[in-house]
Structure 1
Amino acid sequence: MIYAVWVPLLMPFLAVPAARRLAELLAPRQAVRLLAAAAVILGGCSTAALGLLVVAGALRLPAVAALGRLIHPPTGDGPVGAVAAVAAASLIGVCATALVRTVLRQYAELRAARRLVGGTARTGELAVLRDAGPAAYALPGRPGRIVVTTGMLRALDPGEREALFAHERAHLAGRHHLFLGAAELAALCHPSLRGLRAPLGYALERCADEAAAGAVGDRSLAARAIGRAALAAHGAPAARPSVVLAADAGPVPRRVAALLSHRPTGAVASRREGRTARAIAAALLVCVALSAAGALEAATDLHTGIEVAQGETGPH
C-alpha cells in the first residue's frame, strides 16, 4: 500500500496544469464541468490517500490493534510508515480545520447578505440597496436574489442594466456558487488544486456572459454592460460573500474581448487545436484514472493486510 498510496498525492501536480490548458481550449460550459470535476475527484482521492495512511499507522497502536482483533502484527514499512501516518494525520487535521472554518465563514457571509437585502426595495427577484457604491451580484438562496446598488443602476443605461441582470440571473439559474464552493473546498484538500480556482471562476463568468448576450440578443451590448459595470466598481470593491459571483469579477478585458469576438473563447476552431485538446484530455484522463486507481489499490492492500493480521487469510 505504501507505494500506491502516494499516487493520488502526486497526480494533482500533473493534472492541474493539464486541466488549466484544456479549459482554455473548451467552450465555457464544458470548461466549468471539466475543472469542477477534476477538482472534486483529485481532492477526494488525495484525501482518501491521507486517510489510508492514517489508518495503516493507527493499526500499529496496541489499543487500535486490540479493537480490530488483530492477531498478527500488521505488515508495513516500519518507521517510514509510522512517520507517514503521523504526517498524514497532521495534514488531515489542518485540512479539516480549514474546511470547517471555510464552510462556517461562507455560511455566515451568506446569512449576513440575506439579512442585508431582507428589507430592501424589491421587484421580483431584484433587490435594490440604497448605496452610492456601484455593485451587483447574484445572491443564492431560496429564492435567489439579484442584488444591485443604486450606484450601479445610475452607472448603466436601461439596456446595459438588462444585460447585467441577465448575467446575474444566469449565475442563479446555473447554481454557479456550488461549483465555486466545491473548488474552494477541494483546494483545501491539496495545495496544487488552488490553481483551478481562478480558471473555474473565469469559466463561470464566461458562461454568464454568453447567457446575457443571448438574453439581450446583442453581444456588443453585453460586453459594454460588463465593461461599464467593472469601470464603475473599480477602486470600490463591493462587500459581498466570497462564494457569490458578479459581473465585474475576474479578468474583465479578456471577457469583453471574448464577447466581441466571432466565437466564444475556448471553442476549438482548427484541426490543430482539436488534436491538442484531445491529447491534453487523454493525459488528464490518465492522471485522474491513476489517482483513483492508486487510492483503490491502496485501500485494497490495506484491507488485505487487515485480514492477514486478523488471521482470516494467510500472508501472500
Structure 2
Amino acid sequence: MIYAVWVPLLIPFLAVPAARRLADALPPVRAVRLLAATGIGLALCSVLALALLVVPGATRFPAVSALGELVRPLSEATPAVAVPLAAAALALLMGCAAAVARAARRHWAELRPAGRFDGYAHGELAVLPDSRPDAYALPGRPGTPGRIVVTTGMLRALGPAERAALLAHERAHLEGRHHLYLAAAEAAALCHPALRSLRGPMGYALERCADEAAATAVGDRRVAARAIGRAALAARAAEGARRTRPRAALAAAAGPVPRRVAALLGRNTARPRVGRAAAAALLVCLAVSGAAALDATSDLHSSIEAAQGEAPHH
C-alpha cells in the first residue's frame, strides 16, 4: 500500500495531456463519453486513495484502535509522520466533499428558473424581450422540461435558416442532457486539481456534438457553421448578455467558435490514429489508477486482519 496508494494521486497529471487531444481527434460523441469516464474514474480513485491514507494514521489513536479491535497500529511509520499525513488527507477529503456539495446546490438552484420567464414561452422555446443577442439551453430539474432561451436581439441577428440551426443546436444540448456531463467534469475537477484541465475539452466536445446535430437537422453544414459564427459575433457585441446567463446553461456562441466552424466545414477533420492513441493512453491511465487503488485497498484490508489476528482470544 505504501507505494500503490500514491499512484491514483499522480496518474491524473499524466492523463490530462492525452485528454486534450481527444476533442479534435475523435468524433465528438465518443470524445464526450471517454472524457466523462476518465474524469469520473480518476476522481473516484484519487478520493479512495486519500481515504486509504487516513486510516493507518488514525489507528495511532487508542479510540480508533479499540474500535477496530487492533493491538497495534497499521502504519509502521512513526506517529510524527503517520498522523500529520492522515490529517492532511482528511482535510483534503473534507474540502473536496464541501466543494462538491456547494457545486451541487448551485447547480440545482440554477435549474429552478427553467419554467419561469417574463417573455413569451411556448413549449420548449422561451423568447426574452431583450435587444442583446443571446441564446442558450437551460436544462430543467428532473421531471421538468428544459428551455431553449433566445432573445429578440438574437432572432433579429439571424436569418430563418440560421435561426433553425441555432434552435437545433440548443435542442441537442437538452436532448443529450449535456449539462450532466459538464456537472460531472466540474465535480471531478473539484476532487483533483489536475482534472480541471478536462473541463475545456469536455465543453468543446459537447458543443461539437450539438453542432453536428444542428447540421444534420438543417441538412446543410455551411448553414450551421454560418449560424454559429453569426451568433457568436452578435453575442460578443453584447457582453452584458453573458453575465445574465446561468452557469448551467449551454450556449451555441460559447467555446472556441473558429475551431468549431472549421470542423463543420471539413477543415479540421478527425485524426483516427491520434484519437486511438489518446484514447488508449487514457484507458491505460484509468486501468492503472483503478488497479493501484484496488491493490492498496486489498493491502489495507490484509493489514487490518493481521492486526486483529494478533489480538488475544478470550
TM-score > 0.5 by shorter chain: yes
Superposed displacement of residue 311, structure 1: 1.6
Residues 27, 266 of structure 1: 8 Å contact kept: no
Residues 134, 151 of structure 1: 8 Å contact kept: yes
Aligned counterparts of 1:198 and 1:313: Cα–Cα separation in 2: 53
Equivalence map 1:283-302=2 (5 Å):
283-302=281-300
Give the structure 2 partner of residue 248 of structure 1. 253
Which of the numbers 229, 242, 264 marks the counterpart of 1:259?
A: 264
Partner of 1:310: helix, strand, or coil? helix
Superposed displacement of residue 181, structure 1: 0.5
The more displaced of 68-77 and 290-299 is 68-77
CA, structure 1 residues 280+121, in 2 after alignment: closer, same or farther (shift >3 Å)? closer
Sequence identity percentage: 65
Residues 137, 246 of structure 1: 8 Å contact kept: yes
Partner of 2:111: helix, strand, or coil? helix
Superposed displacement of residue 313, structure 1: 9.3
Superposed displacement of residue 312, structure 1: 6.7
Residues 39, 186 of structure 1: 8 Å contact kept: yes
Instruction: Give 2:43's aligned amino acid.
Output: G
Asked if 1:97 corresponds to 2:98, the answer is yes
Partner of 1:280: helix, strand, or coil? helix
Give the structure 1 partner of residue 207 of structure 2. 205
Residues 98, 188 of structure 1: 8 Å contact kept: yes
Aligned counterparts of 1:279 and 1:156: Cα–Cα separation in 2: 40
Give the structure 2 partner of residue 48 of structure 1. 48
When the two chains are superposed, the root-mean-square deviation of aligned CA atoms in Å is: 1.9
Give the structure 1 partner of residue 149 of structure 2. 147
Instruction: Give 1:107's aligned amino acid.
Output: W
Instruction: Give 1:177's aligned amino acid.
Output: H
Deviations 1:252-306 (CA, angstroms, capped at 9, x unpaired): 11111111126xx4523xxxx52x4333333322211110011111111111111
Residues 34, 279 of structure 2: 8 Å contact kept: no
Structure 1, unaligned runs of 5 or more: none
Aligned counterparts of 1:295 and 1:127: Cα–Cα separation in 2: 47
Instruction: Give 2:188's aligned amino acid.
Output: A
Instruction: Give 2:176's aligned amino acid.
Output: G
Residues 163, 216 of structure 1: 8 Å contact kept: yes
Give the structure 1 partner of residue 62 of structure 2. 62
Asked if 1:27 corresponds to 2:32, the answer is no
The more displaced of 238-247 and 276-285 is 276-285
Deviations 1:85-115 (CA, angstroms, capped at 9, x unpaired): 111111112212211111112222222x325
Residues 56, 75 of structure 2: 8 Å contact kept: no
Q: TM-score, normalised by structure 1?
A: 0.91
Instruction: Give 1:53's aligned amino acid.
Output: L
Equivalence map 1:86-125=2 (5 Å):
86-111=87-112, 113-114=113-114, 116-117=116-117, 119-125=118-124
Partner of 2:149: helix, strand, or coil? strand
Aligned counterparts of 1:267 and 1:152: Cα–Cα separation in 2: 31
Partner of 2:38: helix, strand, or coil? helix
CA, structure 1 residues 221+8, in 2 after alignment: closer, same or farther (shift >3 Å)? same
Aligned counterparts of 1:128 and 1:290: Cα–Cα separation in 2: 49
Residues 136, 250 of structure 2: 8 Å contact kept: yes
Matched length: 305
Structure 2, unaligned runs of 5 or more: none
